[in-house]
Amino acid sequence: MHDSDSWEQAIRRRAQELYEERGRVPGHEVEDWLRAEAEVKRESEPRAPRPAYVSVKVEGVTYIGEYDAASCQGYQPGEFRAGDQIRVMVNRDKMVVVRPNGVRLETRVVRASGSE
């Protein structure tokens, strides 16, 4: 979390914004402060990584691999196009896709469908 001075400044700024959004109508100071405090706290909490998915078809089987978008070494959806020849290694619940730049995208297989 933040040091107490910067924490309080962030709350004070947000409470001021709320006051101004209301048209500077007095009498809601406590409400504004509590709302600002809750918003600042929520924004400062670490967020759980959101999973992302990549779909690859290998010999008639479509594999859906889940990966952590925050630690995928810059992989961006769209690097692969339908029909591209790519290197893929599947071993049980792990799938590694070699990206066009040579960097490996490591995933966890969450679904496999098609003729096996």
Give pLDDT tens digits for 5-19.
899 999 999 999 999
Q: Average of pLDDT values for 17-39?
A: 93
HSE, side-chain direction, 13 A CA sphere, residue 100: 10
What is the token pair recorded at 3? Answer: 């040091």
Which pLDDT does position 2 carry in this prediction?
A: 54
Query: pTM (2 decimals)?
Result: 0.55
Average pLDDT over residues 68-90: 85
The answer to whether 58 touches 26, Cβ cutoff 8 Å, is no
- Residue 1: pLDDT band with limits 50, 70, 90: very low
